[in-house]
Amino acid sequence: MNAPLTLALITTTFLAASSAFGGPTAEARLGTRTEAMPSGLRIVALEPSSPLAPYVKPGDVIVEIDDLTMSTDAAIESFLKRVRAGDQLLFTIDSAKGRFKFSITIGVALNAPTPSPVLASAPAASPTSPVSAVTAHSTPDPTSAKAALVLAAEGPGENGSAAGIAGAYNDRLYAQFHYVFGLSRVLSIDAQVRTQVSINELAVGARFHLYTGSAFSLAARVQANEYHILRNGVSLVLVGGNGGLMASFGTERLKWTAGCDVTLHLAGVIQGKGIPPGLVAYATRPYIAVEFAAGLGVNMFAIAEFSTLQIEGADTIVSPGGAFGVAF
């Protein structure tokens, strides 16, 4: 017996058995097959008749339904038992392109016993065939499209990316660029550039996602750092590294982040002459930021910070400031 036919028979037998002992499973109702992961339910297989089919694909992760975390099969089973015809469900999905949301309106109650859904390999049902409980009237919700988070601790998610650009003020006007790419669920690339006429800073490194939840996230950041100052005809380049912690809380549409970065400059060059290795300078940057969904895949964000820079043999530079920009 060939493998596809065997799989079809096993699936059909399983669905029939589940119907006999109290109705179809949550997977059968949604036309999906999933596996539990720490961040949600990963879609392993998806039927063409599923109400989720226009929006997701195998490999995507169902993180929340109606802002309720779906990390186990039991959680989604319990939730779907309460769903009635006409209910609108809001899904939060993690995909390779980042996190997004969509809503569907259920056409029939999902907790009613129904015939087993048609397998993907079976012919389409005729107009007189029974309608499966997974049939729903899906309506795209363009206002739920959300740009991936660039400042929040959780970042854009695995294989997701986010870029932010802002105008800022810290002693003087400057431009700020930020880019984050999710290598995995626990690690992202984190790069930042700040530039103005006399001061330029580049930081490239990694963000470690220590905890990611629906309402709270925690991350640590480690970066290599280069700082270039040109003032009064004197050129100073400082090289070192920085580390920091950030914590985020709120909803997908409004996210607050508080954090602090500490930078140690361990080497430098002044007017073409090397500075002996050692603790040349150090800086601190506590900050608070907010990101909110503006719609159409764009986030707006604002940052308030209070930075200090202490260079050996010089006065401490204290610079309160802030930034406002967009992320996409």
The Cα diameter of the chain in Å comes to 86
Domains and CATH numbers, the chain: 3-141 (2.30.42.10), 161-327 (2.40.160.40)
The pLDDT value recorded for residue 95 is: 86
User: To the nearest whole percent, how much of the chain has pLDDT over 90?
Assistant: 32
Contact 137, 289 (CB under 8 A): no
Tens digits of per-residue pLDDT, 265-296?
888 888 777 777 776 889 999 999 999 988 77
The pLDDT value recorded for residue 232 is: 78
CA nearest to 24, candidates 61, 1, 50, 52:
50
The pLDDT value recorded for residue 313 is: 78
Q: Which one is predicted more confidently, 38 or 56?
A: 56
- How many CA atoms does the CB half-sphere of 280 hold within 13 Å? 18
The region of weakest confidence among 17-26, 216-225, 298-307 is 17-26
Tens digits of per-residue pLDDT, 54-92?
899 998 999 988 888 887 877 877 787 777 777 888 899
Contact 185, 160 (CB under 8 A): no
* Summary mean pLDDT of the chain: 78
- The pTM of the full predicted model, rounded to 2 decimals, is 0.60
The region of weakest confidence among 118-122, 232-236, 318-322 is 118-122
User: To the nearest whole percent, how much of the chain has pLDDT over 70?
Assistant: 77
Helix (H, G, I), strand (E, B) or coil at 269: strand
CA nearest to 294, candidates 257, 248, 323, 326:
326
Q: Which region, left, alpha or beta, applies to residue 210 given φ > 0 means left and ψ of -120 to 50 means alpha?
A: alpha
Provide the 8-state DSSP code for 12.
H
